[in-house]
Amino acid sequence: MTHPTQSPTDSGNLAAELTEVILAVDGVVEVYPAKPLWKTAVGAVLNSLGAVAEPSPVTVRDTDTGPEIHARIAVSGDHSTPDVTRSVAAAVRRHVEPAAATVRITVARITAG
Amino acid sequence: MSSTNNRLECGRSLEELSEYLDTGEISDPGHVAACPECQAALDSIGRLATLEAELRDQEITEAGSGSDDWMQSILNNLRLELRPGRDIPLQPEHPGDVLVETEGAILALIRSVTDAVPGATTGRCRLLGDVSEPGAAITVDAQVAVFFGEPIAAVAEDVRTEIAAVLERQTELNIAAINVTVVDVLTQPEPPAQEGNQ
């Protein structure tokens, strides 16, 4: 079992880089916030005040065994979603090498082809 | 377009999104742009609104076709289908990676291809079986309305074929059966060019 530790600065930079990496994969049309702000209590308060902070599109957590990376994406229906998703995971892994990352990709939407 | 208790998990209602389509105004457009459920809802509501306008133009509602009930039924199903739902696994290339599609993404995709079949519009769609278990046998249960005058059996077969094709391309589900049930018949909207020809 690993015990995640937060390193906001490094993880934030990496998350921003990974967003660009993922968007560059052919067939990816959107990267959504991996941890929707509106699902948290703080997010609900901010929403009610009309002051929603910009969430990071990709979540990066540093762990003892390497970064855990999570992204939610939309894929174009003109492409094979399974193939695009595997390409995204491979692109993320290449970007963080030589670190041994754990990658989670969630396809939240497939646009009409 | 009326609805009650049609809120998505993110808190936005189908009414709010419908109004956003009409006016371009919503309290938090940034959320809508970053929310896959809202975007899928906008797609579905947009298609539904077009169909509803075409039907109303022909005074179908006044003729007692029951289209209002049909529309409300679709809205009720939309709220359920637009939830993220279960995770549907994809085979990773690297051990330990977790690649998934949400059930909501697949149901929205099925709805979009079914609505694109000439003569049909989607009522509801469900994936029956353990979609989170790779290789598990899955049954697709789709309910559609067919426009009056269209060959019902042929339209149903077209719907089944389109669903099979999109699931083959966009998922790794083991589809055991696709059940298409025609649950209503709607009067076919007239093409705009045929003015005055009922």
- Across the range B118-126, mean pLDDT stands at 88
Q: What is the ipTM of this complex?
A: 0.79
Instruction: Give the C-alpha separation, A53 to A87, whole Å.
Output: 30
Mark which residues 25-54 of A lie under 8 Å from B by CB. Answer: 30, 32-33, 36, 38-39, 44, 47, 50, 52
**Residue A61 is part of which domain span?**
8-111
Instruction: Please give the mean pLDDT across all residues of chain B.
Output: 83
What is the reported pLDDT for B1?
Answer: 44
pLDDT in tens, A16-31: 999 999 999 999 999 9
Q: Indicate whether B29 belongs to any domain.
A: yes
pLDDT at B2 over 50: no
**Tens-digit pLDDT profile for residues B48-63:** 777 766 666 655 444 4
Q: What pLDDT shows up at residue B58?
A: 58
Burial degree of B82 (CB within 10 A; 0-12, 13-18, 19+): buried
| Interface membership of B43 toward A (CB under 8 Å) | yes
When pLDDT is cut at 50, 70 and 90, the band that residue B194 belongs to is low
Is A3 within the bounds of a domain?
A: no
Report residue A59 as tokens.
């979540």
pLDDT of residue B39: 86
DSSP state of B169: H
Contact check, Cβ <8 Å, A33/B28: no
How far apart are alpha carbons A57 and B27 in whole angstroms? 21
For position A69, what pLDDT does the model report?
A: 95
**Higher-confidence residue: B161 or A40?**
B161
pLDDT of residue A9 exceeding 50: no
Cβ pair A81:B171 closer than 8 A: yes
Give domain status of residue A55, yes or no. yes
Give the span between the Cα atoms of A28 and B84, in whole angstroms: 19
Domain membership flag for residue A42: yes
- pLDDT value, residue A91: 96
pLDDT, mean of residues B165-181: 97
The percentage of chain B sitting over the pLDDT mark of 70, rounded to a whole number, equals 79
For range B120-143, the mean pLDDT: 94
Domain encompassing residue B117: 14-186
- Total Cβ atoms within 10 A of residue A78: 12
**Inside any domain, residue B169:** yes
Say how far apart CA B182 and CA B171 lie, in whole Å: 25
All residues at 6 or more sequence positions from B124 whose CB lies less than 8 Å from its CB, including other chains: B73, B74, B77, B81, B142, B143
The answer to whether residue B6 is domain-embedded is no
- Read off the amino acid at residue A84: V
**Residue B144: strand pairing partners:** B122, B182
Closest CB to B105 among A33, A80, A109: A109
In a domain, A93, yes or no: yes
pLDDT tens-digit readout, A28-77: 999 988 765 444 444 545 555 554 445 568 999 888 888 899 999 999 99
Quick check: A66 contacting B, CB < 8 Å?
no
CB contacts, 8 Å: A55 with chain B: 34
Q: Residue B87's domain is classified under what CATH number?
A: 3.30.70.1350
Query: What pLDDT does B121 receive?
Result: 87
Residue B84: inside a domain: yes
Residue B164 forms part of a structural domain:
yes
**For position B133, what pLDDT does the model report?**
96
> Rounded to 5 degrees, what are φ and ψ at B74?
-65, -45
CB-closest option in A81, A93, A106 to B170: A81
User: Is B105's CB within 8 Å of A38's CB?
Assistant: no
Q: Give the tens place of pLDDT for each residue, B20-44.
A: 887 888 888 888 888 888 888 888 8
Tell me the pLDDT tens digit for each residue of B70-106. Answer: 677 777 777 767 778 899 999 999 998 999 999 999 9
Q: Establish if B93 belongs to a structural domain.
A: yes
Confidence check: pLDDT of A4 > 50 = no
Chain A nearest-CA residue for B39: A109
Give the domain CATH number at A53: 3.30.70.1350
**B39 contact residues in A (CB cutoff 8 A):** 74, 109
Total domains present in chain A: 1
Cβ distance B36 to A80 less than 8 Å, yes or no, reads no
- pTM of the full structure: 0.77
Spatial CA neighbour of A19 closest among A9, A8, A30, A35: A30
CB atoms within 10 A of CB A25: 20
Test A81 with B43 for CB contact under 8 angstroms: no
Find all residues with CB under 8 Å of B104, minimum gap 6, and list them: A108, B36, B37, B40, B81, B82, B83, B84, B85
The answer to whether residue A1 sits within a structural domain is no
Classify residue B4: in a domain, yes or no: no
Q: Do B109 and A77 touch (CB under 8 A)?
A: yes
B103-115 helix and B36-57 helix, angle to the nearest 10 degrees: 20
Total number of domains in chain B: 1
